[in-house]
Amino acid sequence: MAKKVILTGDRPTGKLHLGHYVGSLKNRVILQNTGDYDVYVFIADLQALTDNARNPEKIRNSLIEVALDYLSVGLDPQKTTIFVQSQIPELTELTVHYMNLVTLARLKRNPTIKTEIKERGFGEAVPVGFLAYPISQAADITAFNANLIPVGDDQLPLIEQCKEIVHSFNSIYGNVLVEPEAMLSQNKACVRLPGIDGKAKMSKSLGNCIYLSDDKETVKNKVMSMYTDPNHVKVEDPGNVENNTVFTYLDAFATDEHFKKYLNEYNNLDELKEHYRRGGLGDVKVKKFLINVLEDILEPIREKRSYYEKHIDLVYDMLSEGSKKARIVAQETLKKVRDAIGINYFN
């Protein structure tokens, strides 16, 4: 039986952050290492240009940063095909065919797009390319016959949109496209990690991130500045762990091992939360623990990054090779799509 195909991407609009790590990257590496799947990971530069057309330098510079982040967290080009969206023109043609199957009303109703238009202050001045990026995303997914998409929950409406396109296409032109399934993390704190400002989502565009490449001092300062329970003023005060960003991060990152290593007066997070609720546990102590937990994860990532930063040529070669390999697959899909529509007049 053919292996299941996993595909995910990231917009090169900056470096990758802890939200990416728990929402998607960590899972990709685990899945890659099972050897049970064909894994594709791509840098969505065309999508990033849809809201950054006037700032192409940013996209160009971020491309290499994202590639460095990939290698640093353990994505392995021997096991995973890593490619660049713009280097596969077939994706753009697929987008054009799918555009005819989606209405303007449907795009405007997409909850993710609605939120993002608001966040960016676009209103009616939204670029057509931005509004239509869910269609281009459907092209990315279907070009590689992807079955599973490991993502944060902001992506669910986009996967839904992709499924609709697959249904429309297959019902009109015959069974060509594969329907994808979103794959969410089991840990609630991971499907949408909040920003350090406590806002709903850590996001490059909102500037509330801890980046995988932040140095130790920066991570420390960011954690120390994090929002906790505003009513937990004195150490003796009982505290709230819900909507308390520091505890949400511990939900996402802390393991019992971390307690053994850094805070062995508690066996696990439940015991720490219990003490905080009761009163008598200060924010600084909890934050210091979180810093240790994050350092445990980030230090090995930083180390790998510094190796690849010294070997940038290797990183570009890796992207170029991956893009060549991926293009062959996209070409096969596009041929099937053209045949199905009947625009194959000369063969």
**Which spans of this chain sit near ligand ATP (rule: CB under 6 A)?**
8, 10-11, 13, 19-20, 23-24, 151-152, 154-155, 191-193, 201-205
Considering the complex, state which of residue 54 and residue 310 has its C-beta at the smaller distance from ligand ATP: 54
Residue nearest to ligand ATP (CB): 23
Residue 132 beta carbon to ligand ATP: minimum distance, rounded to whole angstroms: 16
Residue 135 or 193: which CB sits closer to ligand ATP?
193
The H-or-E segment that residue 83 falls in is strand 80-84
Q: Which is nearer to ligand ATP, 41 or 330 (CB)?
A: 41
| Residue closer to ligand ATP, measured from CB, 193 or 246 | 193
Q: What is the DSSP letter of 266?
A: S
Alpha helices per DSSP H over the chain: 18-20, 26-34, 45-49, 56-73, 89-99, 104-109, 111-119, 128-131, 133-143, 156-173, 188-191, 216-224, 245-253, 256-262, 269-278, 283-309, 312-341
Least Å distance, CB 336 to ligand ATP, is 27
Pairwise CA distance, residues 137 & 189, whole Å:
25
Give min distance, CB of 24 to ligand ATP, in A: 4
Whole-number minimum distance, CB 148 to ligand ATP, in Å?
12
**Which of 60, 61, 68, 12 lies closest to 310, judged by CA?**
68
Amino acid identity, residue 158? L
Residue 13, C-beta contacts closer than 8 angstroms, at least 6 positions apart: 48, 52, 58, 59, 62, 204, 205
Query: Nearest approach, Cβ of 156 to ligand ATP (angstroms)?
Result: 9
The CB-of-202 to ligand ATP minimum distance in angstroms stands at: 4
Supply the minimum distance, in Å, between the C-beta of residue 204 and ligand ATP: 4
Residue nearer to ligand ATP on the CB measure, 8 or 161 = 8
Nearer to ligand ATP, 99 or 183 (CB): 183
Q: Which residues contact 237 (CB under 8 A, 6 or more apart)?
A: 231, 279
Q: How far apart are the first and last CA of the chain?
A: 31
Query: Which among 109, 111, 185, 100 is positioned nearest to 139, based on CA atoms?
Result: 100
Closer CB to ligand ATP, 155 or 244, in the complex: 155
Amino acid identity at 317:
D
Integer CA distances (angstroms), 259 to 2, 242, 270, 271, 278, in order: 42, 20, 11, 10, 19
Nearer to ligand ATP, 20 or 232 (CB): 20
Q: How far is the CB of 124 from ligand ATP (least distance, A)?
A: 21
Q: Which of 104, 66, 70, 85 is closest to 143 using CA atoms?
A: 85
